[in-house]
Amino acid sequence: MSRQLFGTDGIRGVAGEYPLDARTVFAFGRALAEWAKSHAAEPRVLIGMDTRESGPALAAQVIAGLASDGVQCTVAGVVPTPGVAWLTRNGPYAAGLVISASHNPFQDNGLKLFAHSGYKVPDAEEVELERRIFALAADSTPTIGHISTQPAEAEAYVDFLRSICTQSLSGLKIVVDAGNGAASAYAPRILRSLGAEVVELYCSPNGRNINLNCGALHSERIQDAVVAHSASLAVAFDGDADRVIFAARSGRKVDGDHVLLICGRDAKNRGKLPGDIVVATVMSNLGLEIALKNHGIRLVRTAVGDKYVLEEMIRIGASIGGEQSGHVIFHEQATTGDGMLTMLRLVEIMARLQTSLDELAAELHVLPQTLVNVRFGQKRPLEGLDSVQAAIRDCQAEFGDAGRVVVRFSGTEPLARVMVEGTTLDRVGHHAETIAKAIQQELRA
């Protein structure tokens, strides 16, 4: 049975509309209660959310479903997604639920589940949860539960984050763009407690301004702000704070690839990089692979998605992995990407080495890269499209080891994505367009 409700990152949609309508969410709570009972003798569920105005209503519907089957829950209020994962793993919880739609606009929301292990619930168990949700929704009259928020619950997670940085941040001026999301009440406070001077941007959520022209998807905000405020660096989170992007003092954007290089290199130099391996996806720039190789570090690539990065990290015992987009996983300390943990690992290195982010990131020479999205009609295997494969071979022949081409279908939209890297931007663009046109001709929309 294929999954109909759960996507790659939980159940997501427009709040109030299917599958986030009252009946389905109430049935989700009932199904979650059954699941929790099958995993713990006295199950309890932790609930956290981002700053969307629909969060409390969805939480109340889930709570009602849980309570109807005798399962209690603790509502921690606004907590970053990785905070819920950490608290679930380190607390008396059979499951942790995050009510968030990450980087999406405020109208959207979602339900993301973590097991007591701190890892996302496996696909096979999501399929079984779906089966129960459909069955229960057909026989449910939704009710509204009572929310009693216990924000102090998150303080253990805050203490954990503070312990990551063992250096004083005195003398660092840091711009924080929280995207009006879950990091708003946490990141500035933690940095100040470590001695940093903080300039707050977009840290005033009102329920509707989450991710609105700010945060990790709009790095131009921090690139401008870090220069305007003469700051040491700037940091931008997405709505649920599981990803993060930086800007150095010069205004240079520092993304997930830079972070993987900086942290991987530092760990290798201190003898703390198991296997001398860093894990990234096929979208990470070839420049990262070259820079890591200069330090005797091997880059292992996976399919796009932090889920696949984590799976490979666990399989080979790697401690550092992530995505160019800013999802970075430090597996010895976390079970998921954590934007604030990443921030603290980075500033700890800056403070310990007494150097700037510009200097730390300088070794990564990003090769010109172009990404073209092609809308298609009928999907067919790319391997069987002769003209597309010929265009790919021409690209590979020209660039050799100094370039890459990745062609894949989107997992969420009727799009083929063409990514080309090479020595010069004009040739990269030429090959990307040639491959895209071949796809358009073969798979006419």
| Residues assigned a catalytic role | 102
Cis, bond preceding 122 (omega within 30 deg of 0): no
Residue 252, helix vs strand vs coil = coil
A 10 A CB-CB count for 294 gives 10
- Per-residue CA distances from 84 to 14, 87, 300, 332, 444 (Å): 22, 5, 28, 17, 44
How far CA 175 is from CA of 241, 242, 256, 362, in Å, comes to 16, 18, 18, 21
**How long, in residues, is the chain?**
445
3-state secondary structure of 411: coil
- CA count, 13 A, side-chain hemisphere, 162: 16
Q: For residues 404 and 179, what is the distance between their CA atoms, to the nearest angstrom?
A: 33
For residue 50, give the amino acid letter.
D
Tokens of residue 25, six digits: 């969410």
- Would you say the C-alpha torsion 227, 233, 218, 55 has a positive or negative sign? negative
Residue 389, C-beta contacts closer than 8 angstroms, at least 6 positions apart: 382, 383
Cβ atoms of residues 254 and 338 within 8 Å: no
Radius of gyration for the chain, computed over Cα atoms and rounded to the nearest angstrom = 22
Count of CB atoms situated within 10 Å of the CB of 425: 12
Structure-block tokens of residue 394? 């021409």
First to last CA, the chain: 29
d(CA 59, CA 44): 15
Question: What proportions of the chain, in percent to the nearest 5, are helix, strand and coil?
Answer: 40, 20, 40
